[in-house]
Every structure is written in C-alpha cells, then in structure tokens.
Structure 1
C-alpha cells in the first residue's frame, strides 16, 4: 500500500429520524444562548419551526439565503446577526443556507449547527464559496466547518424527486473526485465507493416513491459519506468547471453538477483506472460516466447546460476562466478537449469515455 495522509475533521454528527428534537440540547452543548436561524425564502416556515423548538432563545430568523453565497446577502445577514445580539448560527436547508452560515462564521467565529434538508454536503466541509461581481471564489478554513450536524431523515421526505436526484448527483460528484484527487487515500476511497453505491441505489427508489423512508435514509447516509469525502479529500476538474459555470452564468448549483459530472468523469477516465474500477462496482456498470448520465436522464433531471440558461457563446468564456486558475487534475488540461466536453455538456450529449 502506498503511503498516504488522512485528516479527520472535528464535527459531531447526529443521524436518524426525528433527530431535530435534539436541537435545544445540541445548542446548549455549544454554549449558544441566542442563536440566529437561517433559511432561504421558501423555507422560512421551517426556520420558524426550528426557532420555536428553542423556547424563546432564538435571536430571530433570517430567510434571505441565496445560491452561491452572494457577499451582498452575507452583509445583510451580518447586520441582523449583530443587531440581534446573536451568539450562534442554526442553518436549515441546503448548500445556500449552510453557505451563508459559513460566511457569517468566517467573519464572527460563531458556532454553527447545520440541519441539512438536501444531499448537497456543504455541512461536512471546511470549504466556503462566495460570489461577488459575478465571480465565485473558494477558500478552505476550519473556521467555517459546522460544529454539529443534525441529519434528520424527516426533513428530506418533502424534497421533490427531481430535486432529490440533482442534489444526490451533487453529492456523488464529491465522492467521485475524492477517488482520484491529489490527496486521495484508501480511507476516503472506502467512504466514496460506499456513498456512491448508496445514492445510486436510493435515487431511483425515491423517484418511484418519494416517501420511501428506507431509500431516503440510504440517500442521506450516502450524502453524508460523500460530504466527508469532499471535506477531507480534494477536488479536480469537475468542481472547477462547476464553480466557473455557476459563478459566471448564475446557474443552479446542483443541476450544474448533475450535467457536468458525467463529462468531467469521461475526460479523466483514461488517467484514473483504479478509481474507475471502484466506480464500476458502485454504479453496477462498466461505463460509470454513461451510467450517471442515464441515471439523471431517467429521473427527469436536466442533462444540458443550455437548459439551465447558459448561452452558447459562454462556452469560450468558460474555457478561458478555467485555464486562468486551474485546479489540480489527474489528466492534464487540454484546451481543445476541455472546450469539447463543455460543448457536449451544453448540448446534453451522452458522454463517451
């Protein structure tokens, strides 16, 4: 076995059904006396419900979280945080809300509790992405890692099937790249394969029956493992492309990951044979990139960037931004080949390894 380095991240996980009932106790354990609850506008009622569980201790509810964590939204939330005298953060939602909590924690070092309602995985990572003037930048620091994560299967039951699929594909992307990231290691590879397998098994079952609790449990478990892979592992071409596309064209996060993943994987496949063996087992297919594309298509998820609102003349712009500050990648980036996979993703073609 080759030498490797594995870093475990200091996060407490509470997993199961009905686990939100522990919110007050978990807030006490972190010394929160006036936590501010964060949500997106559609989940404002969920935020109010969480605030009610805190028996009058909540500093309030800020329901303005938005995709890609715009700095302007963080500024508005910071004003509420400071005015209310809050000393902690409770985020209920997906990557948008958890990203906002991270942005506030970065500025204040306030403790965080994350209550995910999707499979996005931001809650298990020390990574924060923020968008300003149409440019999304990321950084990695333990200051933004939530101290406690409450995974409650009950919160995922109302997630619509197509949203479940795109959110799950977003999670799968974290684990796929952990298999061949620069700091890949055998511990994360075990988690990645198990997480991908759980999601690939669960997502079609959720599409057939959104209230299938066993499938929802498997999906949330898989998403947790995939998120650990993202937090402790690394990223490559796929995540670089998604950050470029999301930040430059304001494309929806999970849907962009769903479209791009099969194409980025197909690009890297010739250079990552051991990872492809694990992915073949996890997906049950000798063509993992094609299998992931087929999974998305069969579930009614978008498979073309043009359907997400990206203009065709944005392809060259995306290529240029990608090459300005490229991530590490197992296969060297070739400009014409990268342009070709972005075009294939824009058109919605099935990838070819």
Structure 2
C-alpha cells in the first residue's frame, strides 16, 4: 500500500530548447503585458542581455548590473529602489544564481513577476526560495512571490560557461537532487524528479567535460538543473544546504564550488542510515556505490578536493560548526551531534572526498 504523502505542485511556465532565448523572451514579456521591464544582469553579462532584449528594447525601463554573490542586503535595497524609480512592472533576470537571487530579493518586497533566463545550472529559478546576506550571515526563506512566472532555458546560453564553473554548477544542481531524497518535505513525486535529475546530470557532466561546445551535453545539464531545482523547491533543504549557506555567508566562498566539495561528505555521512535512497542515487549515477561513485565523479571533473583550496582556514571549522548546529534538521537520516557535525565539516575542509558507503572514518562522533 502506498504511504500517505503531500505534494505541492508549484505554478510556473517553462520554455526549453536550443535557441529559445532568441525568440521566447519577447513572447513571454508580451504574454505578461509588461511595458516597463527592469533588466537584471551581472556587468559581464550585460552585452548578452542587451542582445537578447533588442526585439523589445523599448520596454526596458532600467537595467541593474550591480549583482553580487549571496545577494548582500545593500544590493537588494539598491535593486528595489531602481525598480520603484523606473516604475517597473516586470523583472527580467538573465544570468546565474546570483542574478536570479537579486530578482527574487526585489520580488519579495514588491510582488513584481519574474521572467528568468538562466545561464548556469543553479536551478534556483524554479524555486520559491530566497536568500540574502547581511554582514557574515546568510538568511533564507520561502515565499511564493519570488517564484518566477516563467523560465526560458536555452542550452546555447551556457556554451561559453567555463568548463570548471560548469562542473561545479552542475554538481551544485546534483546536491539539490541528493538532498531531496531526505529533505523535510520529501515525497514520492519529488524523489522521482530528483532521481531523473541525477541521471541527466550524470550524463551531462562528463559529456561537457569532454566536449564543452557540445549542445547535447549542455542540454542534459540544463534539463538536470531544472529537475534539481524542481525537486528542491518541493522537498526543501537539509543538512547539506545548512552547511553550505553558513560557509557562503560567513566566508563568501564561491557558491557552486562549495556545494560540489561538501556534497560527497554529507552523502557519506547519511548513506548508512538511508539505504534505499543511497541505492537509488547509485542507480541514477550508473554506479555500484553512491558514495564512491559521486566521489570519483568529483575527482574526474576536477573539483577542488577540500574547502581549504577555496581559502577557508582550519581555524574556521569551529565557527561554521557553531553556525550550523542550531539549524540541523531533526529528521536528518542520522542524528547529528556537535562532534559529528564538526568532523563532517573538517573532513570537507581537508579533503579528499570519501571513497565508499562505509567511509565513516572521517566522521567519527556520529551516532
């Protein structure tokens, strides 16, 4: 008999396909009857954004390019002020997760609709999750107002994304999928979506590594990122994201690389207590062992072996442990006491990733 579950299907429109951005963005802006669009793009992606919006340039009321990682509150306030001054009736974000996050910060207080055009594999464009950083602390929340009304996925826009960033960004999406197996609001539907996301990402990552300009591999990554974000949006965040958000907020570590490094360690920690999830993750990866398979994939893709390579100091491990400990999910597959949490974070700092499902030696103290 099927167990009871609750599944909240989120509203939103997706347009997917190579070359879609050249035609679909204008159609989506028109469909929403927008006449005063606030264009949001990082400074280095502004030329691309300008080119894509040429067919409806007269509708661009203002452009915001002061996008920063982790969306500092000052940046959010500046973007909101510009939206008000321009009389914006639509937010158009063209870029990666930080660009989407900036649009969400504006929508959170204004209620303006968002059309998102991702150029990386963040997946945040299909979630109602927002995040902002004040000082050294990152705050996240869930609000339906920040969920984009439409997302235009175009693999062509990711062809020039550097390979190293593509690998880290794809593994960031993989983290959404893996976490969805034991996140607080998990259900059979979100798990199926996550499993297919892992399968697509597992195909796409090596393909892009071998042929960065190949549209097929890029399409698999973008499709996987969409599925990853969709699963994460419904299932919610767990231990992995609590750790990564603390690391990003406290030390401004690069978002995608941080997720890519931490993921194998959290999987190794939880795997012994989540055998069914671990089996399905392994099958989706096409590997005999989920932990060993993911660890080998990260090495194959050239991911830094530990957080120390991103500039984090060993002396900061305790600080991160203190930040994460109060927010550890009560229903994590394994109980997480402070010694276990510190051991996990220290292992991610030191590297390399664990070698198999029995790789618990680096996580002493877990119970």
- Shorter-chain-normalised TM-score: which range? over 0.9
Tell me the equivalent position of 2:363: none
Once the two structures are superposed, the pairs formed by residues 234-273 of structure 1 within 5 Å of their partners are 234-273=236-275
Question: Using the alignment, how far apart are the partners of 1:215 and 1:23 within structure 2?
Answer: 23
1:53 deviates by 2.8
Tell me the equivalent position of 1:196: 198
1:156 deviates by 1.0
Tell me the equivalent position of 1:343: 346
Provide the aligned C-alpha RMSD in A: 1.2
Question: Using the alignment, how far apart are the partners of 1:180 and 1:80 within structure 2?
Answer: 40
Once the two structures are superposed, the pairs formed by residues 1-353 of structure 1 within 5 Å of their partners are 1-20=2-21, 21-328=23-330, 329-351=332-354, 352-353=359-360
Contact kept in structure 2, 1:6 and 1:232, CA below 8 Å = yes
Contact kept in structure 1, 2:193 and 2:231, CA below 8 Å = yes
Contact kept in structure 2, 1:51 and 1:60, CA below 8 Å = no
Question: Using the alignment, how far apart are the partners of 2:190 and 2:322 within structure 1?
Answer: 32
> TM-score, normalised to structure 1's length?
0.97
Deviations 1:32-90 (A, max 9, x none): 11111111122121222233231311012211111111111111112221222211100
157-166 or 294-303, larger mean C-alpha shift: 294-303
> TM-score, normalised to structure 2's length?
0.94
Deviations 1:279-317 (A, max 9, x none): 110112232223222212222222210111111111001
1:4 deviates by 0.7
1:181 deviates by 1.6
Deviations 1:68-115 (A, max 9, x none): 111111111122212222111000111100000000001110010000
Q: Which runs of 5+ in 1 are unaligned?
A: none
Contact kept in structure 2, 1:23 and 1:54, CA below 8 Å = no
Contact kept in structure 2, 1:47 and 1:61, CA below 8 Å = no
36-45 or 250-259, larger mean C-alpha shift: 36-45
Question: Using the alignment, how far apart are the partners of 2:183 and 2:89 within structure 1?
Answer: 37
1:332 deviates by 1.3
Tell me the equivalent position of 2:364: none
60-69 or 111-120, larger mean C-alpha shift: 60-69
Contact kept in structure 1, 2:129 and 2:146, CA below 8 Å = yes
Contact kept in structure 2, 1:48 and 1:61, CA below 8 Å = no
Q: Which runs of 5+ in 2 are unaligned?
A: 361-367
* Structure 1 outlier segments of 4+, above 4 Å: none
Question: Using the alignment, how far apart are the partners of 1:47 and 1:17 within structure 2?
Answer: 17
Tell me the SS of whatever aligns to 1:169. Answer: helix
Question: Using the alignment, how far apart are the partners of 1:106 and 1:241 within structure 2?
Answer: 24
Tell me the SS of whatever aligns to 2:57. Answer: coil
Tell me the SS of whatever aligns to 1:56. Answer: helix
Tell me the SS of whatever aligns to 1:313. Answer: helix
113-122 or 51-60, larger mean C-alpha shift: 51-60
Question: Using the alignment, how far apart are the partners of 1:103 and 1:50 within structure 2?
Answer: 23
